[in-house]
Structure 1
Amino acid sequence: MFGCCVAGRLLQTNLQQIDETHAAFELPNAASINHVCVFLLGTVPFPDGYGASVHFFWPGRGFQLLGMLSNEKPSAIFRLRGSFSAQNTSSAAHSAFSSGTNTPTDVTAILGLAIEPLPTIAAQIAQLPSAVQKSQQQPQGLGDPTVLAEKVVKHLFNYVSGFVGGSGVTPDSAVPMGMIARWYESFVGKVRAGGVGFLENVE
């Protein structure tokens, strides 16, 4: 259901299921990690009204809540270097993720995911510093499926019109399917890398 990628390393899909609502990725050589991206693989969505809170565990320092994932926000990038504090998350998350990983000399950190109701996650996010909260919020307007669909179509139109001469795309313009395929691959890559926030820039 989840994937994880540390900047400069291969993609990780070796998710360890802890119980029905908790899972974790081991992050070896954690001292060298600057950024980590976690995302939904697109194979299994969250149940309606649920998402996942994302936690970082450093042996000997405890947990820190990083942010969240949801069906509307299927990926997120977190900066780890220089941002870790000893702030603990809920004791339930601590006991679930830290089993067998409490050796202070262990250089392997844990990226934990807890599937929870969205209101519960929102309450946790509200306690984060304001800059982190802002990065976790869904772009305004894009929660409306109609607005989102319109932005996607405009993005495609702008992409295609960049390859058509003259005044742009007209009703009788022929657009090769390969061009649409390239747009789709690029579009999906952007969504997986950072969500749909980039669509706010589409005019």
Structure 2
Amino acid sequence: MFSVVIPGRPCLTDIAVLDAQPNGQATKFTFTIPAQPAFNHLVVFLLPGTVLPPDTAAAIYLQSPNAKPGPNGPEFKFLGAIGNEKPSAIFKVGSGQPRRTEAQEEDEMLDEDTTRPLEAPNSQYVLGISIEPAQNVAQQMAALEASRAQTQSAQPSSSTDLVRMTPQAKQITTKTLAQRIIGNAFNFLASFAESNPNKQGEEVVPLKSFRDWWTKFERRIEMDPSFLERDEQV
């Protein structure tokens, strides 16, 4: 169903299935990736002919060789998602990086830097792919975007940057940003909710509606990067 490309390496197709539903539909997969030679980006994509179940998306997670231990083993970091309407995506390995456009990510892939500390020669990354309800993935995407916005706002600007000065500026917490992004998504997606024919009393939102919200949200961020920091944002 999926494949992975790392610049300078052969295409990865050796996928392991971890979980499947009673109907036999696999839902969780992993790729094991040697940490050496060093890399900063990877591409995850759906293989031709692959179609995800309706109202689902493929959430992408990464476990680094130095991942913090958790109650169920080393932690996986959420990177993003792909779906039927966006069957591939470029992800940057590492944390605390400002948001880049896909074109910028593609350019940087051709110039991999070696500034990151080298992992042990035999260490490995584990890339996890989980087919999840689109609404769950949308919440994770919103929280990820909030974290990126918080990181970006904390970075000092250069003297040539255009800075919008606001009176009595106040610090916005990551939790507040996440709540505002999720609220923005909920308000937009609520109008597209439909009754689930398979479960009475439950509503579902088409994945296309989430993609439409995401496009609109990114466009607004580009036009007004600070709108989430204002109390009157909608």
1:46 equivalent to 2:62? Answer no
For the 8 Å contact 1:30–1:109, the answer to whether it is kept is no
Q: Distance in 1 between matches of 2:215 and 2:142?
A: 20
2:77 to 55, 64, 71: 64
Q: Distance in 1 between matches of 2:28 and 2:4?
A: 15
2:92 maps to 79
Tell me which amino acid in the other structure corresponds to 1:67: G
Q: Distance in 2 between matches of 1:12 and 1:66?
A: 18
Q: 1:30 to 1:65 in 2, by over 3 A?
A: farther
**TM-score normalized by the length of structure 2:** 0.46
Q: Distance in 2 between matches of 1:141 and 1:120?
A: 14
Mapping of residues 143-154 of structure 1, within 5 Å? none
For the 8 Å contact 1:5–1:37, the answer to whether it is kept is yes
1:6 maps to 6
Cα deviation digits, residues 147-176 of structure 1 (max 9, x gap): xxxxxxxxxxxxxxxxxxxxxxxxxxxxxx
Mapping of residues 104-143 of structure 1, within 5 Å? 107-130=123-146, 131=148, 138=211
Q: Distance in 1 between matches of 2:37 and 2:61?
A: 17
Give the CA deviation at 1:142. Answer: 8.1
Give the % identical residues.
33
Question: RMSD of the alignment, in Å?
Answer: 3.1
Structure 2 residues without counterparts, runs of 5 or longer: 21-26, 68-74, 98-118, 150-177, 179-209, 217-234
Give the CA deviation at 1:26. Answer: 0.8
Give the CA deviation at 1:139. Answer: 6.6
Q: Secondary structure at the match of 1:47?
A: coil
Asked which structure has the greater RCO (Cα within 8 Å, sep 6+), the reply is: 1
Tell me which amino acid in the other structure corresponds to 1:64: K
Q: Distance in 2 between matches of 1:117 and 1:33?
A: 30
Structure 1 residues without counterparts, runs of 5 or longer: 86-103, 144-203
Q: Distance in 1 between matches of 2:211 and 2:138?
A: 12
